[in-house]
Structure 1
Amino acid sequence: MKGRGIVRVVVILLVLAFTIGCDQVSKSIVRTKLDVYDRYSFIGNHFTLLKVENTGAFLSLGDKLANPYRFILLTLLPVLSLLGGLLYILIKRNFNPLTLFGIIFVIGGGMGNLYDRIAHGSVTDFMHIDFGLFQTGIFNVADVSIMIGVGLIFVDGFVKNKDGKEQEALAAE
């Protein structure tokens, strides 16, 4: 049983490292190859690479905050939350695999963006999607990781909810 616990921790840390690594490699390439506000469009201008340094959080929220509020809200609380989340998934063992991987992706994306904020003073964003009514803000690989993680958690919750309703229906018959 002890060996399974070690393998589980190693898998969690490897997926986390892979997630953070993909984010940081992509941002490093963008930082070295693109100038701020350089624009490269693809797929009929629906996908754009555009380097932007975001000094706030999601959609630049908090970028105008003064210190110490800025430090507390954009650095200290995220550090504590991400470390707490990582410790939680390392200690708690009864996660469904979809939820576990979802949480790992969310933590990895958060750590990737937090690393940027601490090391560079801003988060490098560089992707934008525009399909008319559907349009995103400018985002990065860490943001994609967070969205995939949230999606996995939702899918797991939906599957559990559906299974629970099916079992209730069978029990009522």
Structure 2
Amino acid sequence: MPSSWKESGLRWYWVVVLVFIADQLSKQWVLANFDLRESINLLPFFNFTYVRNYGAAFSFLSDAGGWQRWLFTIVAVGFSTLLTVWLRKQPNAMWRLNLAYTLVIGGALGNLVDRLQHGFVVDFLDFYWKTSHFPAFNIADSAICVGAGLIILDSFISESKPDGKDVAKG
């Protein structure tokens, strides 16, 4: 474990702040300027559409009656705490994994604030092909997905030690 937080993955926590601010500002703009389900077509495959998600990814458990709000709150706090502890234990140089963890934390906290403040998550990015729409999402969701992808990628890539020997990470 690095001897100080400055030598650890916690140095990457600025990414959490950046994702969180971008996510919350975009959602506040949507809430201030759009009515529910209002949509603006921007590209032949992309709309800016305000929808509410009471569930998780792909509206999972959205019609569960309200208890899911607290389940997803506990999950967001738990994962953010766990990833923060892991960041403290990792060296700052493990950039890919540090970036991945901070993206996930920033996204989780962005959606957590929505759940606590509104009881739902504000989604507005609506991609589609002809009449088939991908579930709407937001900046926090994007950060979580990119972070998860980087975690998967990192599991397949080994880091090199300064002496040139490859080591598998655990």
- TM bracket, shorter-chain basis: 0.7 to 0.9
Q: Which has the higher helix share?
A: 1
**Counterpart for residue 64 of structure 1:** 63
CA deviation after TM superposition for structure 1 residue 119, in Å: 1.3
SS in 1 for 2:125: strand
CA spacing shift, 1:109–1:124, aligned 2, 3 Å: same
Q: 1:10 Cα deviation (Å)?
A: 5.9
Structure 1 residue 71: Cα displacement: 4.7
The one of 133, 148, 151 equivalent to 1:150 is: 148
Distance 1:133 1:7, change over 3 A: farther
Unpaired runs of 5+ residues, structure 2, are 160-164
Residue 39 (structure 1) aligns with: 39
Amino acid at match of 1:14: W
Runs of 4 or more, structure 1, over 6 Å off, are none
Letter in 2 for 1:111: L
Give me the whole-angstrom Cα distance separating, in 2, the residues matched to 1:29 and 1:130: 22
Q: 1:43 and 1:148 mapped to 2: Cα distance? A: 23
Of stretches 116-125 and 143-152 in structure 1, the one that deviates more from structure 2 is 143-152
Match of 2:124 among 115, 118, 126: 126
Q: What TM-score, normalized by structure 1, do the two folds share?
A: 0.78
- Across the aligned residues of Structure 1 and Structure 2, the Cα RMSD in angstroms comes to 2.8
- Amino acid paired to 1:50: T
Tell me, yes or no, if the aligned pair for 2:9 and 2:90 is still in contact at 8 Å: no
Partner in structure 1 of residue 162 of structure 2: none
Matched residues in 2 for 1:95 and 1:85: separation? 16
Question: Shift in Å at residue 137 of structure 1?
Answer: 0.9
Q: What number of residue pairs does the alignment pair up? A: 160
State the one-letter code of the partner of 1:110: A
Alignment pair present for 1:29 and 2:25: no
